[in-house]
Amino acid sequence: MADAAEQKTGEACIIDGKAFAAGLRATVGAKVAKVKSEHGLTPGLAVVLVGEDPASQIYVRNKGKQTLEAGMNSYEFKLPDTASEDEVLTRVEALNADPDVHGILVQLPLPEQVNEARILDAIDPAKDVDGFHVINVGRLWTGLPSLVPCTPQGCLIMLKDTLGNLTGKKALIVGRSNIVGKPIAQLLLREHCTVTLAHSRTQDLAAECRTADILVAAVGRPQMIRGDWIKPGATVIDVGINRVPKEGEDGKTRLVGDIHFGEAVKVAGAITPVPGGVGPMTIACLLNNALIAACRQAGVDVPD
């Protein structure tokens, strides 16, 4: 796939995020088995869920299940949606102090009475498996070892596997959030791409998109990016997860990305679908981060 633009003859190659995620989970599982047998170390991942948000409950359940399947310890803490900021902070501080817990994830969004930034800031940076703490953000941007946010990490793994060396590629990321757009930009800069970050005030977004060898969409607007915005042969990563009504089926919904997949697949060289693209990689990368965090805290090397 190294020269997707030259090889393009028909529909884009579909990047199978489920298969990538299964591979990464298996690799993490094998490494966990190794650190257990060689060092007696069992990584532990704690998830804090505040409130009853149905989507968050599903994510947390999946995370717990996959953590156990990888051979790690999984700890789940549920607080009511009336929980105060101090109650959430007390839970985070207890987990910071617990030597069996190597990774802490506070499921977002938090109820409005709880200040998200204050909670994320309270997590021990060494246990910050989401990579959202300012210390990890700063380390990422200055090229120091850090815990890298999971969704961006998943995007990079799939891009490198699809394209090989990314040096010199023109990458456009649509969306500049702290948790997706900005860290993806930094990871691609580190791979020597020429990076542009686009956002809601970008002038002529379609023209900007048409210049990109790598197009990453992280906007949260269903099918906003059309086929004729895409450079023929480009590699397209769709981070967006949007629920839209299913045509002709009252009350039913389906998931779509930020890219108009039906149009884009005819133009791109390779593309991630929604669902089944970036989404499955996020939890697999979380497990990888928990393993890295555990090894660093125990002072042992992450197995090759």
For residues 199 and 254, which CB has a smaller minimum distance to ligand NDP in the complex?
A: 199
Distance CA 71, CA 30 (A): 9
Closest contact distance (angstroms) between CB of 281 and ligand NDP is: 7
Q: Are 64 and 47 in contact (CB under 8 A)?
A: yes
Q: Are 131 and 149 in contact (CB under 8 A)?
A: yes
For residues 125 and 149, which CB has a smaller minimum distance to ligand NDP in the complex?
A: 149
Using DSSP's 3-state secondary structure scheme, residue 13 falls into strand
For residue 129, which of 117, 113, 146 has the smallest C-alpha distance? 146
Q: Is 252 part of the annotated catalytic residue set?
A: no
Q: Is 113 part of the annotated catalytic residue set?
A: no
For residue 108, which of 100, 98, 118, 116 has the smallest C-alpha distance? 116
Between vectors from CA 287 to CA 72 and to CA 127, what angle results, nearest 5°? 85
Closest contact distance (angstroms) between CB of 159 and ligand NDP is: 14
Task: Write the CA distances from 210 to 167, 172, 290, integer angstroms.
Answer: 19, 9, 38
The two three-digit tokens of residue 148, written as one number: 């890298």
Active-site entry in 31, 66, 128, 130: 130
Q: Are 278 and 237 in contact (CB under 8 A)?
A: yes
For residues 114 and 180, which CB has a smaller minimum distance to ligand NDP in the complex?
A: 180
For residues 114 and 217, which CB has a smaller minimum distance to ligand NDP in the complex?
A: 217
Dihedral angle, C-alpha 25, 31, 34, 39, nearest 10 °: -120
Closest contact distance (angstroms) between CB of 165 and ligand NDP is: 25
For residues 189 and 255, which CB has a smaller minimum distance to ligand NDP in the complex?
A: 255
Active-site entry in 107, 153, 186, 223: 107
For residues 130 and 191, which CB has a smaller minimum distance to ligand NDP in the complex?
A: 130
Active-site entry in 31, 63, 127, 182: 63
Closest contact distance (angstroms) between CB of 267 and ligand NDP is: 19
How many helices and strands, by DSSP H and E, does the chain display? 11, 11
Closest contact distance (angstroms) between CB of 68 and ligand NDP is: 20
Closest contact distance (angstroms) between CB of 256 and ligand NDP is: 10
Q: Output DSSP code: residue 271.
A: E
Helix 181-190 / helix 150-163 crossing angle, nearest 10 deg = 40
Chain residues binding ligand NDP by CB under 6 A are 151, 174-177, 179-181, 198-202, 205, 218-221, 239-242, 278-279, 282
Distance CA 224, CA 230 (A): 12
Q: Is 182 part of the annotated catalytic residue set?
A: no
- Location of structure tokens 């817990």: 101
Question: Which residues are marked as active site?
Answer: 63, 107, 130
